[in-house]
Structure 1
Amino acid sequence: MKTRVIPFALSVLAAIASPAMAAEVHVAVAANFTAPVQAIAVEFEKDTGNKVVASFGATGQFYAQIKNGAPFEVFLAADDTTPAKLEAEKAIVPGSRFTYATGKLALWSAKAGYVDDKGEVLKKNDFSHLSIANPKTAPYGLAATQVLAKLNLTQAITPKIVEGQNISQAHQFISSGNAELGFVALSQIYKDGKISSGSAWIVPSELHEPIKQDAVILEKGKDNPVAKQFVDYLKGPKAAVVIKSYGYEL
């Protein structure tokens, strides 16, 4: 009489429960906040097991995509007016809007010593190209035009402006040498208390309207618990350390 043998592998598989799959949240992120949110997402996954799937771009472009049905569940804007507009249009989870950071603008050149610490290089106007983000879609681009207007330099410098679609592209124009200098988000060139490369002037906040950056849970995220979990994490102490390290105010 033969003895029936149950394969060992099958018995092991039957005894082990399969681990739960990590959940995700899809987040639209203003380009200036790219590096901070990438760092925060790493910590969020370590602490919760859930993932942040982030897309980066200009706030105005994201607004259009959201209105056209893009599958974003959370929106980290570069201003407070766009999230407020979405709130008025009932396109967000009620009560979810809050300011996650206040941004700072910087005049930056990839060349060491090119930009002085008072921004006098602008008044000298001895350059061929100045890079800014599109002021119609990117709040940091709008802030740049406000600075030029406040300094009475709009007419003199406008012919030299090259526009990026968002603040990342504006930064790229400068880092590649296609523009000698330009206005970027401080967070793009700042880490742990110092300018990371080149030379820069941190623009005084009185020269432009405050860059209050608001976050919201969008309508598409209302039934995803990870959306609220991520927003709560963004308000927490670990995220605050990261946000401050990139030069933002809370």
Structure 2
Amino acid sequence: MKPISTGFRAFVFGIAAALMLASAASAAEVRVMISGGLAAAYKELVPEFERATGNKVITAYGPSMGTTANAIPVRLERGEPADVLIMVGYALGDFIKQGKVIADSRVDLVKSPIGIAVKSGAPKPDISSADAIKRALLAAKSIAYSDSASGVYISTEMFQKLGIADEMKDKAKKIPATPVGEIVAHGDAELGFQQISELKPVAGIDIVGQLPPELQKITVFSAGIASVSKEPEAGKALIKFLASPAAAPVIINSGMEPIATASTVGAK
């Protein structure tokens, strides 16, 4: 893990000073619901925010969509508290339309590409082109994909684009809740498809690489303030922190491309 830079700390302490000037209230508890795509970078960045601001961040993890107990829509439906939602951009957009997220609080944070993994030490297939991906999928005995944005694309678009949807019905499985990399590491799937940022933290796998450009589907992860938030200002400060240029190296190291900057957040 790379150490947090001095510039990064300076940025965070700047946020802390602004919060202290804005309010003499005691430190806030910021409740966050976040999907897996940004989780690795988030886990590294948030402790620095807590140390600098005195705020406590309470995090609930779950997919951006789906019906599992920890899925963000299900958590909100049963009334779990939330100040900040960090999830797939189009899913956050749906929440804005439903009035569950404050529209002008949305910030697009990162772009996240889909990658392919095999069990550590297993042969790595050629994935350099759409035809190569097609051959690898037909040759594999078992395939796993997530129940979130990347998996929706793999199962409803990519297989059809390659003309192998029928061949995939029996051997390609959607994996709810569990990281796809863990399924591959345990030997329960030969090939696993998920965002690179969600594959990188998993031990026991080798990441073959990204999908080739003609098949790639970039997922945007976005953040917004929940309409039920009790700490919207502290929530905005957290989003600004995650969107800062100083946070970019951590985000890039986790396998994603930063989009937002602190200046764009401050303009809202």
User: Conserved in 2, the CA contact under 8 Å of 1:23 and 1:226?
Assistant: yes
Bigger radius of gyration among the two: 1
Q: 1:44 corresponds to which residue? A: 49
Q: Does residue 126 of structure 1 match 2:135?
A: no
Q: Which runs of no fewer than 5 residues in structure 1 stay unpaired?
A: 1-19
Deviations 1:152-208 (CA, angstroms, capped at 9, x unpaired): 222212210122114x432221121111221021013348xxx99514131134425
Aligned length: 223
2:104 is paired with a residue whose SS is coil
TM-score (norm. length: structure 2):
0.74
State the TM-score, normalized to the length of structure 1: 0.79
Tell me the alpha carbon deviations over residues 17-62 of structure 1, each in whole angstroms, 9 at most, x when there is no partner: xxx9643211111122221110111221232222221111111131
Show the counterpart of 1:12: none
Root-mean-square deviation (CA, aligned residues, Å) is: 2.5
Name structure 2 gaps, 5 residues minimum. Answer: 1-24, 66-70, 259-268
2:84 is equivalent to residue 84 of structure 1: no
Shift of 1:237: 2.2
Equivalent residue number for residue 219 of structure 1: 227
Number of the residue aligned with 1:144: 154
- Cα separation, 2, equivalents of 1:73 and 1:29: 11
The alignment partner of 2:100 has SS state of coil
Q: 1:225: how far off?
A: 2.7
The equivalent of 1:183 in structure 2 is: 193
| Partner residue in 2 for 1:108 | 117
Deviation readout 1:90-142 (Å, 9 max, x if unpaired) = 222231012111111011112335233526365142332111112xxx11111
Query: Partner letter of residue 176 of structure 2?
Result: Q
Looking at structure 2, the residues matched to 101 and 176 of structure 1 have their Cα atoms a distance apart, in angstroms, of: 30
TM superposition outliers: structure 1 runs of 4+ over 4 Å:
none
2-structure distance, mates of 1:210, 1:198: 21
Q: 1:188 to 1:210 in 2, by over 3 A?
A: closer
